[in-house]
Amino acid sequence: MILNRYGHFSASCRPMIRVSNLSKSYNYPNMVLKDISFRVKKGEFVYLSGPSGAGKTTLFRLLFSDLKPDSGQIIIDGLDLARASANRVAQLRRRLGFVFQDYKLIPNYTVFDNIALALEISGTPRRFIQKKVWRVLKVVGIERQVERLPLQLSGGEQQRVAIARALVNDPRIIFADEPTGNLDAEIANDIMHILHSINGRGTTVVMVTHNRALLQKFKRKVFYLNHGSLQAYDWLN
C-alpha cells in the first residue's frame, strides 16, 4: 500500500476520470467550458473550484453524463460517455456516488429507504440490503435516525444520509457538489472529515466548492475554473 503525504492512498497510474478537449455552450458562441483537459487518478481527492458562473456545475454535470458536451471526450472508469448507451451510463452511475448541496433525498422515504434505494436499483438481493445499509449508517453516524423522514432531520444529518446513499454501493468515485454549502462551519467540517475518510479507504472523490476556507483547511489538488477555462491545476496553498 502506498500512502501519500496526507497518509492516504497514493493515486495509481490508471486515470479514473479522463477529460480531453471538452467544450460546452448553452447559447453558442458563448462557451461555458472551453477546451478543457484533465485527469483524476484512482484514489485521488480533487476539488473543482472557481467563482460563481465559472462553469463548475456544468463541468460537474458533464462528468456523470447529466449533460452532453458539444465536443471533447470524457472517460469515467473506462467508459467513454459519448459512446455509451443510456443503460451503460445507468450501470456506471451505480458504481458512482453523488452528494449534492440540496441533499436530493426522497422526502417520503425513510432514511433507511433512501439509502436502500441505491441498492434496490442495482438489484441487490433483499437479504444483503439491511446489512449494507447499517454498515454505511455507522460510517456516517446516523444509526439512530434510521426510521425518520428527511424533513425530520437537520441539514447536517440529511447530508450524512446523502453520503451514506452515495457510499452504499461501494462506489469507485464520489461526486460531491457543494456538499457543505447549506451547512454551518462545524457541521461542514464533520462532512469534510467523512469525505476524506472515505477517500482514505481508496475511493476517488471529486468535490465542487467555492469555499476557500475549506480548500485551505483540507488541502488537496484543485482544478480552478474561471470563465470556462481551467486556469489553475495545482495544490492550493
Partner 1 sequence: MPRIYDHLYPVFKLTVNNIRRHPIINLISIMIISIAMLMLALYFLAYMNADRVVSTWRSDLKVAVYLDDDLSPEGLILLKSFCLDLDEVIHLDYISKEEALKRFKVILGKDSSFLSDLPENPLPASLELLLDAEVADIDTVEHLARQLRRQTGVDEVAYGSYWLRQLFSLLKMVKYLGFIFASFLSAVTVFVVASTIRLSLFARRETIRVLYLVGATRRFIVMPYLFEGIFQGAVASSIALGLSYGGFYYFKIWLQEQVPQWSIAPMLKFFDLSSLLTFLLLGTLLGIAGFLISSRWLSRD
- Residues of this chain that interact with partner 1 (CB under 8 A) are 64, 66-68, 86-87, 90-96, 98, 104-106, 108-109, 113, 117-118, 120-126, 165, 169
- Give 8 or 24: the residue with its C-beta nearer to partner 1: 24
| Strand partners of residue 48 | 208, 223
Q: Which helix (H) or strand (E) holds 211?
A: none
DSSP 171: -
C-alpha cell at 121: 436499483
What are the backbone dihedrals phi and psi of residue 72, each rounded to the nearest 5 degrees, phi first?
A: 100, 175
Cβ-Cβ contacts under 8 Å for 41 (sequence gap 6 or more)? 11, 12, 13, 14, 15, 16, 204
Could you tell me the smallest distance in angstroms from the CB atom of residue 94 to partner 1? Answer: 3
Q: Which helix (H) or strand (E) holds 48?
A: strand 45-49
Instruction: Report the 10 Å Cβ neighbour count for 10.
Output: 14
Could you tell me the smallest distance in angstroms from the CB atom of residue 81 to partner 1? Answer: 12
- Give 34 or 104: the residue with its C-beta nearer to partner 1: 104
Residue in this structure with the C-alpha cell 475511493, named with its chain if needed: 203
Could you tell me the smallest distance in angstroms from the CB atom of residue 217 to partner 1? Answer: 28
| Whole-number Å distance between alpha carbons of 110 and 69 | 36
Could you tell me the smallest distance in angstroms from the CB atom of residue 119 to partner 1? Answer: 9
| Whole-number Å distance between alpha carbons of 202 and 51 | 29
- Give 8 or 165: the residue with its C-beta nearer to partner 1: 165
Could you tell me the smallest distance in angstroms from the CB atom of residue 90 to partner 1? Answer: 5
C-alpha cell at 146: 434510521
- Give 23 or 124: the residue with its C-beta nearer to partner 1: 124
Residue in this structure with the C-alpha cell 469534510, named with its chain if needed: 192
Could you tell me the smallest distance in angstroms from the CB atom of residue 98 to partner 1? Answer: 5
- Give 44 or 177: the residue with its C-beta nearer to partner 1: 177
- Give 23 or 122: the residue with its C-beta nearer to partner 1: 122
